[in-house]
């Protein structure tokens, strides 16, 4: 059985994680350039200064994408590479890089899907208050306009923000990601509101500058997986996914209800009370812009049943449950229930903007990289996604995270997520077994998922 006709097969990466050239060709510093150089912030002092050197090796990387048969590639733009001070002066060599990359992709027959913000925020703007500053949505709108006016004649698919829950909370409240702040919850809600306004303004700019644009965002959040087929457990998993019981923003609908319904979830507003920032009379209208697809990053979920008190209850994982090198549980059903719940709630075609496995891959004595776990992980998840399509969920496409090993934020180069192995000393690329396996999956539009892979 194949995926629906027209389903898009891709892979993804992000600017700071692969580009390198962190201080070249007029690029301004980002908060990640600063943070990764602070002692003790990133595993073993790793930085993205060079990363995969994609800035210089993008032609080789696009050739690898073509070899794998990717139909689409999700990339992100480094804001300070394009606008070193975040606003104002445009850095021509920075913009030229993306111009060349897009042309290279198109000439390889690969459709670019561009994310405007995947966390490398201009340090110059951070020094002006960053996302706390009420001007920050306008800064993002200005940046968006510079990018879309240059690339919009060739790029049709756009995403505004990647995983706002992560850069807002892990970056500004937990301090484990750049910029490394530990702000109070009311400040976090203010940042979150500004990020949503930035999204809305950016969508308006994209619509005004790109003919026939297809626009979304890439959201991450809890996914409840019903512990059984019983309707009570399905409902408990749905409630767990969408209902607010604690002061956390790790719910899809914290971001997507304002974007797609023009309102914050009512239970969250009650719970957060006075911590909420003042909301301007037109704010929700600005945030609530029509979108074309629902982008979601899915790595795992939690098994939920209806508890004795009628409330959702998360089941503890049994001892020895499969986990990735990141210690994330392997829960393939998340790629069934996540898309299904979002489709039910928002009615937009789903794009899996990220999904993949962190592993401890290395080059074997035979010179190849054998990664049977990645193949098995991806096969299990994709079979669940295909089940969602069979059950009527409209699916647009799937982007594997990641095309190549890269700088995994606070984990540095410790976690390898790539279909292509990168030797960070030599910058040599080696497609892993999973790259060849994924090539066959793409070529068959998913039909080969039924065949046990030759391991």
Token pair belonging to 305: 């049943």
CB of 171 to ligand IFM, least distance (A): 12
Residue of 13, 12, 14, 32 whose CA lies nearest to 22: 32
Q: How far is CA 114 from CA 314, 338, 352, 424, 436, in A?
A: 36, 23, 14, 25, 25
Residues in the interface with ligand IFM (CB under 6 A) total 7
Sheet holding 302-306, edge to edge: 224-226, 302-306, 312-314
Read off φ and ψ for residue 398, nearest 5 degrees: -140, 130
Tokens found for residue 342: 């979002």
Nearest CB to ligand IFM, comparing residues 200 and 295: 295
Reported as type and span, the H/E element at residue 341 is helix 334-346
Give the nearer residue to ligand IFM in terms of CB position, either 90 or 325: 325
Nearest of 313, 434, 305 to residue 381 by alpha carbon? 434
> 94 vs 418, which CB is nearer to ligand IFM?
418
| Closest approach of ligand IFM to the CB of residue 342, in Å | 17
Output 14 or 116, the one with its CB closest to ligand IFM.
Answer: 14
SS3 content of the chain, % helix, strand, coil (to 5): 40, 15, 40
Given the residues 19, 104, 163, 333, the one annotated as active site: 163
344 is catalytic: no
Residues of 74-93 as b/e, b for ≥16 C-beta within 10 angstroms? Answer: bbbbbbbbbbbbbbeeebee
Q: Are strands 8-12 and 312-314 parallel, antiparallel or unpaired?
A: unpaired
Cα–Cα distance, 25 to 22 (Å, whole number): 9
Q: Which of 19, 302, 333, 354 is catalytic?
A: 354
**Contact predicate 422/429, CB 8 Å:** yes
> Quick one: 17 or 434, whose CB is closer to ligand IFM?
17
Q: By C-beta, is 1 or 323 nearer to ligand IFM?
A: 323
Distance CA 142, CA 150 (A): 13
Q: What are the φ/ψ torsions at residue 404 (nearest 5 degrees)?
A: -145, 160
Least separation in angstroms between residue 282's CB and ligand IFM is: 31
Nearer to ligand IFM, 136 or 297 (CB): 297
Among 76, 77, 68, CA closest to 9:
68
CA-based nearest residue to 227, from 299, 302, 298? 302
- Mask 6-25, x = binds ligand IFM (CB under 6 A)? --------x--x--------
Q: Is 405 in the site for ligand IFM (CB under 6 A)?
A: no
Rg (CA), the chain: 21
Q: Which one of residues 401, 421, 437, 438 is an interface residue with ligand IFM (CB under 6 A)?
A: 401
Residues between 157 and 196 with contacts to ligand IFM, criterion CB under 6 A: 163
Nearest to 254 by CA among 164, 338, 364, 328: 164
CB of 334 to ligand IFM, least distance (A): 14
Residue 437 CB partners (closer than 8 Å, separation 6+) = 375, 378, 453
Name the nearest CA neighbour of 151 among 199, 103, 183, 186.
103
User: Residue 163 catalytic?
Assistant: yes
Question: Of 57, 408, 413, 420, which one interacts with ligand IFM (CB under 6 A)?
Answer: 408
Q: Which lies closer to ligand IFM via its Cβ, residue 148 or residue 297?
A: 297
Q: How far is the CB of 288 from ligand IFM (least distance, A)?
A: 25
Residue of the chain from 30, 241, 297, 384 that contacts ligand IFM (CB under 6 A): 297
Burial (CB count within 10 angstroms: exposed 0-12, middle 13-18, buried 19+), residue 426 = exposed
Residues 307-366 that bind ligand IFM (CB under 6 A): 354
- Which residues are the active-site residues? 163, 354
Catalog residues that contact ligand IFM under the rule CB under 6 A: 14, 17, 163, 297, 354, 401, 408
């Amino acid at each position: 059985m194949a995926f629906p006709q027209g389903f898009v097969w891709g892979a993804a990466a992000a600017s700071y994680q692969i580009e390198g050239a962190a201080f070249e060709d007029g690029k301004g510093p980002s908060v990640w350039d600063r943070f990764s150089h602070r002692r003790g912030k990133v595993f073993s002092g790793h930085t993205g200064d060079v990363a995969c050197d994609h800035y210089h090796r993008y032609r080789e990387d696009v050739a690898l994408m073509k070899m794998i048969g990717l139909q689409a590639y999700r990339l992100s733009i480094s804001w300070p590479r394009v606008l070193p001070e975040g606003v104002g002066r445009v850095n021509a060599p920075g913009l030229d890089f993306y111009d060349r990359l897009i042309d290279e992709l198109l000439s390889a027959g690969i459709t670019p899907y561009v994310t405007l913000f995947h966390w490398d925020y201009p340090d110059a703007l951070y020094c002006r208050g960053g996302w706390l500053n009420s001007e920050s949505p306008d800064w993002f709108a200005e940046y968006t306009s510079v990018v879309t006016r240059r690339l919009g004649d060739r790029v049709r698919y756009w995403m505004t923000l990647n995983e706002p829950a992560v850069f807002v909370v892990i970056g500004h409240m937990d301090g484990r990601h750049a910029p490394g702040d530990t702000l109070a919850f009311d400040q976090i809600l203010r940042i979150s509101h500004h990020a949503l306004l930035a999204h809305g303004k950016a969508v308006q700019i994209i619509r005004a500058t790109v003919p026939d644009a297809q626009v979304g965002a890439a959201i991450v959040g809890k996914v409840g997986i019903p512990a059984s087929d019983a309707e009570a457990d399905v409902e408990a998993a749905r409630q767990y996914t969408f209902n607010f019981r604690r002061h956390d923003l790790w719910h899809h609908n914290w971001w997507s209800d304002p974007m797609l319904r023009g309102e914050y979830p009512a239970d969250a507003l009650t719970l957060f009370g006075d911590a909420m920032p003042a909301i301007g009379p037109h704010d929700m209208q600005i945030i609530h812009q029509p979108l074309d697809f629902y982008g979601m990053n899915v790595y795992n979920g939690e098994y939920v049943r209806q508890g004795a008190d009628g409330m959702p209850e998360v089941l503890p994982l049994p001892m020895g449950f499969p986990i990735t090198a990141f210690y994330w549980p392997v829960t393939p059903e998340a790629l069934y229930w996540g898309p299904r719940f979002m489709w039910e709630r928002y009615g937009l075609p789903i794009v899996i903007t990220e999904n993949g496995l962190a592993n401890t891959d290395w080059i074997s004595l035979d010179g190849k990289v054998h990664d049977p776990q990645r193949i098995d992980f991806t096969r299990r998840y994709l079979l669940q996604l295909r089940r969602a399509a069979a059950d009527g969920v409209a699916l647009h496409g799937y982007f594997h995270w990641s095309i190549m090993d890269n700088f995994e934020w606070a984990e540095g180069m410790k976690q390898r997520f790539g279909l292509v192995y990168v030797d960070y000393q030599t910058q040599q690329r080696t497609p892993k077994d999973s790259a060849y396996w994924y090539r066959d999956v793409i070529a068959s539009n998913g039909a080969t998922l039924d065949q046990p892979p030759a391991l």
